Amino acid sequence: MRRPLAAGNWKMNGGAPALSEIRSLLEVAGTASSEILICPPATLIDRMRALIAQAPIAVGGQDCHPSESGAHTGDLSAEMLADAGASYVILGHSERRQDHGQDDALVQAKILAARRAGLSAICCVGESLAEREAGQTLDIVSAQIRGSVPQDDSPGLVIAYEPIWAIGTGLTPSAEEIAEVHGALRSMLSAHLGSARAETVRLLYGGSVKPANAAEIFAIDTVDGALVGGASLKADDFSQIIAALDAAQG
């Protein structure tokens, strides 16, 4: 049984004042059946962790360096994120792949680093609009899975299907399109990891998830939760998305 996951990706948004949004989420977290995760900018991880105390909200990073330490100015290791209180890290997000030239081999090295530090990795895959229009979606995500996901065990691994053209645009694939990619991802993971291990991997959808479309997305059988950008910045919106995820399990 895979526990549904509502993951918030704050990206490069939010200083100390944004922590008040977390205070509002504490109440929701007390009664939610889904797992709740917030990935704030790394500068907020330890303050957020302190604020959350024992409440059932996990905190995560948005990237990490493959090495444990060393001369890598501006980078953070998985161990540092864990030390600050993170239990998850988003890896291979399309904004990191594009803005920082991260390829699949590097993403795989980062997933191995996450495992070394005891963090669960959320590995993002997804196609561009041109790739979707050229009918290449399944080839693209398949290559990303084979290149990015280590074949040995990565406890807690999560895969987020995030079509690049849906991120921050208000556009989303149809339910059939999400189900098709998720179905293919599940088969690819079975071939890559073995079916028993593949069954434990949660498959999220990400890209313009909002309170208005959350119920429809979570009604798709293959969807184990969401990676939410913009709508995770406001506790009220994110709470509605968590409620929709909870309701979809009922």
Query: Given the rule CB under 6 A, which residues bind ligand PGA?
Result: 9, 162, 167-168, 206-209, 227-231
Least separation in angstroms between residue 230's CB and ligand PGA is 4
Indicate if 100 belongs to the active site: no
- Taking the least distance from each CB to ligand PGA, the nearer of 162 and 224 is 162
Instruction: In angstroms, give the least distance from the CB of 191 to ligand PGA.
Output: 26
Which of the residues 93, 95, 127, 182 is marked catalytic? 93
User: In the annotation, is 93 catalytic?
Assistant: yes
Nearest distance, CB of residue 53 and ligand PGA, angstroms: 26
Pick the closer one to ligand PGA by CB: 116 or 220: 220
Q: Residue 14 or 229: which CB sits closer to ligand PGA?
A: 229
Task: Spot the catalytic one: 65, 95, 162, 182.
Answer: 162
> Is 49:74 a contact under the CB 8 Å cutoff?
no
Nearest residue (CB) to ligand PGA, 86 versus 193? 86
Nearest approach, Cβ of residue 172 and ligand PGA (Å): 9
Which is nearer to ligand PGA, 144 or 208 (by Cβ)? 208
Question: Closest separation between CB of residue 104 and ligand PGA, Å?
Answer: 18
Q: Is 55:26 a contact under the CB 8 Å cutoff?
A: yes
In the complex, residue closest to ligand PGA by CB: 229
CA 21 to chain centre: 19
| Contact indicator for 98, 128 with CB cutoff of 8 Å | no
Catalytic residue IDs? 93, 162
